[in-house]
Amino acid sequence: MTRYLRIDQLDFAGKRVLVRADLNVPMELGRVSDDFRIRKALPAIELLSAGGAESVLVCSHLGRPKDREPELGLAPVSVRMAELLAGEVVQLPGVVGDEVEAAARDLAPGAIALLENTRFESGETKNDPLLADALARLADVFVEDAFGSVHRAHASTVGVAERLRSAAGPLLISEIEGLGRFLGDPDRPYVVVLGGAKVSDKLGVIKHLLPKVDSMLIGGAMCFTLLAAAGAEVGDSRLEPEMIDEVGKLLTGPDGDKLVLPSDIVAASAFEESAEAVVTAANSIPRGRIGLDIGPGTSARFAGVIKDAASLFWNGPMGVFEWERFRHGTEAVAEAVAGCAGWTAVGGGDSVAALRILGLEDSVSHLSTGGGAGLELLEGRDLPGVAVLERWVDGP
């Protein structure tokens, strides 16, 4: 595993510190509608501020802007952050440039400031060296604390860390250590629960983890490609036809019996929140019906496997979680995970949201802020934003 400096090993007193946080939060009508990621970012900021940093500059992306889209600006985030910190957060006028550099230099001692959306700069996602240079000019040292973004080699995750002495923040450390418990030889039974829309998005983690787990429970729309590969009739449910042969090899392979597919499905007459729905066998969904949730029998069976797990990881909803009528499978899994006595970690926005809606977020061992990053970590892949930190362990 990558070695890195921890934030408490970084000499930041009296220095300007740039923090890469994950403030990619949902917005409604110009306000933050879910501040989970902002709250998770605060410990690093508070630690630096209390530890004597001259100033703390925070940067993050928000959404996927194609240009400088005002509705994806970070001003509402700075407002909410200031409310949570009970103090001022200065909103800087951009990401880089002369005006931003001047504003950063003129900050009052101990000030906390937020840069604008890093993806407003076209060089961010390309790890443009000029943008990385400009970001590095804003500070003396760098803290990487955006676990949800470290699987991307961007200017604000990798480029700046190549230029400034860098350390991992408390959230990043917590994520690596929490999810790291599934690497090597986790306690058994080891159970993974996967859902979501596309099996292609999770094929890598399925292939990597299937030989290591005791059971892998599959729900969400991704289950229909696996069911089709097993010869089931899936009606009009969402399919990835190009993946059927590939996942069929997993089902017939040496670990295929570890894949646990739904036995019943809640199938609707249309992809609509108010559509008429029935419970049907998962292997014979009628034409004209679309599977939108796992059925009650599957929910109970999944819950039984989850209850006995010693190590459990869950990523992805079991159905169209956004619609209450098709949320029951996800809620059943959430309640089972919360009741599991083993080490439990949950990642992915909808999975975390389910726990929070049910008031169960404090009932799991580790609640992850990163969906894609968590999957890549468990897949055994290097995370560029973490790997780059190793250069400073024995360096200047």
Catalytic positions, written as ranges: 37, 198, 349, 372
Q: How far apart are CA 387 and CA 389, in angstroms?
A: 5
Residue 178 in contact with residue 158, Cβ under 8 Å?
Answer: no
CA 89 to chain centre: 25
How many Å separate Cα 368 from the centre of its chain?
Answer: 6
Place of tokens 């999810």: 179
Question: At residue 320, what are phi and psi to the nearest 5 degrees?
Answer: -80, 80
Give the 3-state DSSP-derived string for the chain, with helices as H, strands as E and coil as C: CCCCCEHHHCCCCCCEEEEECCCCCCEECCEECCCHHHHHHHHHHHHHHHCCCCEEEEECCCCCCCCCCHHHCCHHHHHHHHHHHCCCCEECCCCCCHHHHHHHHCCCCCEEEECCCHHHCCCCCCCCHHHHHHHHCCCCEEEECCHHHCCCCCHHHHHHHHCCEEEECHHHHHHHHHHHCCCCCCCCCEEEEECCCCHHHHHHHHHHHCCCCCEEEECCCCHHHHHHHCCCEECCCCCCHHHHHHHHHHHHCCCHHHEECCCEEEEECCCCCCCCEEEEECCEECCCCEEEEECHHHHHHHHHHHHCCCEEEEECCCCCCCCHHHCHHHHHHHHHHHHCCCEEEEECHHHHHHHHHCCCHHHCCEECCCCHHHHHHHCCCCCHHHHHHHHHCCCC
Tokens for 82, please give them. Answer: 């200031």
